[in-house]
Structure 1
Amino acid sequence: MKVIVAGFSKTGTKTMQAALKELGYNVYDYMENFEFLEKEWKQICTVGGSTDLFRKMYENIDAVTDLPGCIFWDEILKAFPEAKVVLTMRENEDVWYKSFKRQMTENVAWKHKIRIMFSYTAYRFYLYSSRLCQFSFGTEFGKVNETLSKMYYRRHNANVMQNAPKDQLLVFNIKDGWNPLCKFLDQPVPGTPFPHKNKKASLTADIMNTDSIMLKMQRETTLFYCTTLMLGTVAAAMWYHYK
């Protein structure tokens, strides 16, 4: 582990994932943590973890972004004390909350609720996200409490700025682009524009068409629909035949 992005969700974490990948880092973001470390995170959220567990989880990973890594940044840092910490922040908490609320609203759209009923993977993902939402924002998944959300955001940022080693910490706004980030990480500045991902909660729609876990959910949902339709058709035919 070389880089811990400790910024809260909706502070440019998907942009940071893209930027770090462009710099050559192997990055675990929200979806990778679910796909490859679901069991470990369930253990941490229910009975607790250890420095050895975090070291084992990320021993072959260069960087971590978004939930749940940002919440457990200090535990990850204990496992990898040489890692650098990047605290991504928005201009102010009102800007952050507006973006956060938009994302949460998109996450609980009816199309996603239906998927939970028909896909086992989607149900597991819902349970995983619910646990993370509870200890990250102090509220149930899909429910937004402005006062609590802003309080958790402030506390998190203050904790990182106060307790992260000063010579290993960069407080960063993605609007600042490549220069401060590359200088901090001792990396050459790429010749490409700094990426900007998940604008106006576009992430959910984007990953639905590209992420392997989301595609698996869609296949499971389609299979359920087709199986139900086939069984219904057979049942109707038998009823008509024997009535």
Structure 2
Amino acid sequence: MKVVMAGYSKTGTKSMAAALRLLGYKVYDFMDHFWYHYEDWMKIMERQSTVEDFRRMYQDVDALTGCPAFAFWEEILKAFPDAKVVLTTREEESWYHSTVGQARVLESYYKFPLMQILTPTGRKYFKFYRALARVVDGVDMNNPFHYTYHYNEGLQRQKYRQHQKYCEQNAPKEKLLVYSVKEGWGPLCAFLGKDVPSVPFPHSNVGGVYIEDLMEVHPAFDRMEREWRLVLFLLTAMGLYTSYKIYSHGWMGKAANFFSNFARRRFSCFHLSIS
């Protein structure tokens, strides 16, 4: 482990993951934590962590970014004491509105909440995200259709300030870079001892579109998509079979007669009560 990203979510963590990969690092970001270490992280978030857990999980990884790793930067640094810490920062007003904006994007992507209910991988993802929300935000999410309902603005801003200030005050000064992605390659490469790449600094997840991007490339979403297609196939097959049975047994006509008679009786009672 060479780099631990300690910056809060929506402070440029996706851009940092892309930048570190361009610098040659093997990076684990949010979905990688879920995909490769789901059981470990559920144990860590629901019970406790040990230095040995993190050392085993990330011994072959160069850099960590995103949730839930940023919330455990101190424990991870104990497991890898030679690693450097990058604390990404962002102006608070911009950070908060970006956080809420991304949640609204997730809510508007209709298929994604349904996947979290109807597919095995999706249900695991929601369980993971729910545990993360409890640990990082101190709130509980009841369902995957409402990502914004739990955003208490004052509380979220306070947690953001506390996390950023705590890291800045407690990370070893000689290993810490307080950094904004707006600064580009220069400060980051100087801190890491890397040559400045010839390509522009990446800017990822602009407007909170990372779900659509990940749908195309990440194995977790590939599996979720395949499970989703199977669920749709099975539901369609069940619907067709049920329709066939209803038709073949004459249940449709019986149901129509039942509702017709029911309506006639109700109308008759209504007519008598008026009379």
With structure 2 as the length reference, what TM-score do the two structures score?
Answer: 0.85
How far 1:214 sits from its partner (Å)?
1.3
Report if aligned partners of 1:138, 1:152 keep a CA contact under 8 Å in 2: no
Report if aligned partners of 2:27, 2:62 keep a CA contact under 8 Å in 1: yes
How far 1:221 sits from its partner (Å)?
1.3
Mapped pair 1:80 → 2:102: no
Structure 1 segments of 4+ aligned residues over 6 angstroms from their partners: none
Instruction: Write out aligned runs for 1:61-76 (5 A).
Output: 61-76=61-76
Mapped pair 1:102 → 2:119: no
User: Which residue in the other structure is 2:165 paired with?
Assistant: 158
Aligned AA for 2:125?
F
RMSD over aligned Cα, in angstroms? Answer: 1.2
Aligned AA for 2:55?
R
Match of 1:205 among 197, 208, 212: 212
User: Could you tell which deviates more after superposition, 107-116 or 8-17?
Assistant: 107-116
User: Which residue in the other structure is 2:39 paired with?
Assistant: 39
Mapped pair 1:25 → 2:25: yes
Task: Tell me which structure has the larger Cα radius of gyration.
Answer: 2
Instruction: Write out aligned runs for 1:158-177 (5 A).
Output: 158-177=165-184
How far 1:111 sits from its partner (Å)?
2.7
How far 1:123 sits from its partner (Å)?
1.0
**Separation (CA, whole Å) in 1 of partners of 2:140 and 2:29:** 21
**Separation (CA, whole Å) in 1 of partners of 2:196 and 2:10:** 24
**Separation (CA, whole Å) in 1 of partners of 2:70 and 2:206:** 20
**1:72-94, CA deviations, whole angstroms, 9 ceiling, x for partnerless residues?**
0000000000100000010x211
Match of 2:225 among 206, 209, 218: 218
Aligned AA for 1:41?
W
Report if aligned partners of 2:100, 2:151 keep a CA contact under 8 Å in 1: yes
Aligned AA for 1:100?
T
Q: In structure 2, the residue corresponding to 1:170 is in which secondary structure?
A: strand
Report if aligned partners of 1:122, 1:217 keep a CA contact under 8 Å in 2: yes
Count of matched residue positions in the alignment of Structure 1 and Structure 2: 242
How far 1:44 sits from its partner (Å)?
0.6
Unaligned runs of 5+ in 2: 142-146, 251-275
How far 1:223 sits from its partner (Å)?
0.8
User: Could you tell which deviates more after superposition, 209-218 or 40-49?
Assistant: 209-218
Report if aligned partners of 1:4, 1:84 keep a CA contact under 8 Å in 2: yes
How far 1:203 sits from its partner (Å)?
1.1
How far 1:211 sits from its partner (Å)?
1.7
Match of 1:188 among 190, 195, 199: 195
Identity of aligned residues (%): 39
